[in-house]
Amino acid sequence: MEKRSVERLVTLEEFIIQAQNRFPGATGELSQLLRDIGLAAKIISREVNKAGITNILGDQGEENIHGESVKKLDVFADHQLISALKRSLITCMVISEENEGIVQLRSHGGKYIVYLDPLDGSSNIDVNVSIGSIFSVYMREPRYDSKVNESDALQPGKRQVAAGYVLYGSSTTLAYTTGLGVSLFTLDPSIGEFILCNRNVQIPEKGTIYSINEGSYNSWEEGLKRYIKYCQEEDPESNRPYSARYIGSMVADIHRTLIKGGIFIYPHSKRYPEGKLRLMYECNPLSFIIEQAGGRASNGEVRIMDIYPDAIHQRTPIYIGSPENVTRVLDFLKEFKEEEFLMS
Ligand code: AHG
Ligand code: MN
Ligand code: MN
């Protein structure tokens, strides 16, 4: 009789425990934190999936600290993630897009600092287009004075100990890294578990998709305009013209870039002189994921994760994706900056 092999499914919980067991002496606290985020993600996913029928679509009727209108789901996701992190007493403070100051979870103790974009892609909530959640984790620097303050959270992205995102798309996908590659999980709603689908995702070395809000073309710097024209030029040998794809939810655009390769750009412009996206809870965590998968992320001049932050909500331009594509756009930016300098 033919022997059928039974596929062994690995859940997020099991995977985290296996990973922890490989490090004798690990306290298991980071594992607990990742499990807490996994639980909040399931609750948010459930709410996103039934959003149209439960009166959770639409505006909360307030603006957040960045002057953007807050959606009910933004607030729901923020509360779920913060209360999940509060349960296990290992996080001393949370910094979230939805809160102006730090959210202190413990007055003393608590080893980790967590940054959150609880709901990314808010403008897509009401139209049933993919949205996400992003997290980024740092260790608190040990100090004699055990009180936490904002300056403890101002660390460069290269000091992240874990980061990841959850994408609420046609399925719910969770990606995370602790600096040992990127693991991907898909939520099986019938059993309520995240199931491992790839334990070492690699981004293609080069891709044929560019992703940018082209409506702002007129306010870009010359090097960027030339690069986008280069992407659109006909050259069958290098598979050009490339395809344009722009979802408007960074998590979804980055997830596609991770799987299919290519480049995602949010540059500085006249409207957003510092760029629009936030360094600490959008750009750093997604750069950590992309770099761990073999990609590259820059602000146009330096590596995103080398930037020393001055403020918890600071913005940055970003050029992120397959290494070849990012290197090429940086060459264009440099070339045209030099040209402008010589002509001035
Ligand atoms: P958020 O919903 O968390 O405020 O983030 C929205 C961000 C990001 O997800 C996306 O890439 C970008 O805004 C889209 O901005 P534009 O509409 O200016 O292209
Ligand atoms: Mn966002
Ligand atoms: Mn958001």
Q: What is the CATH number of the domain that holds 28?
A: 3.30.540.10
- Exposure of 23 in the CB half-sphere (CA atoms within 13 A): 12
- Same structural domain, 140 and 271: no
Look at residue 71 in the predicted model and tell me its pLDDT.
75
Does some domain include residue 5? no
- Same structural domain, 153 and 96: yes
Q: Which domain holds residue 111?
A: 12-198
> Which ranges of the chain have pLDDT less than 50?
none
Look at residue 213 in the predicted model and tell me its pLDDT.
98
Look at residue 106 in the predicted model and tell me its pLDDT.
86
- Same structural domain, 194 and 97: yes
Does some domain include residue 4? no
Ligand 1 mean position to 106 CA, how many Å? 31
* Helix/strand/coil for 163: strand
Look at residue 148 in the predicted model and tell me its pLDDT.
84
Domain end residue (candidates: 137, 165, 198): 198
Nearest to 287 by CA among 160, 184, 192, 197: 160
CATH, residue 335: 3.40.190.80
Q: Which ligand is nearest to the CA of 66?
A: 1
Quote the pTM value: 0.94
Domain end residue (candidates: 160, 175, 198): 198
Amino acid occupying residue 83: S
Q: Is the CB of 130 under 6 A from ligand 1?
A: no
Ligand 1 mean position to 231 CA, how many Å? 23
- Same structural domain, 159 and 266: no
Q: How many domains does the chain have?
A: 2
Alpha helices in 182-282 (DSSP H): 222-232, 250-260
Strand order in 193-198's β-sheet? 103-104, 91-96, 112-120, 131-139, 162-168, 172-177, 182-188, 193-198
Amino acid occupying residue 238: S
Amino acid occupying residue 140: R
Domain end residue (candidates: 146, 179, 198): 198
Q: Give the separation between CA 304 and CA 296, rounded to whole angstroms.
A: 9
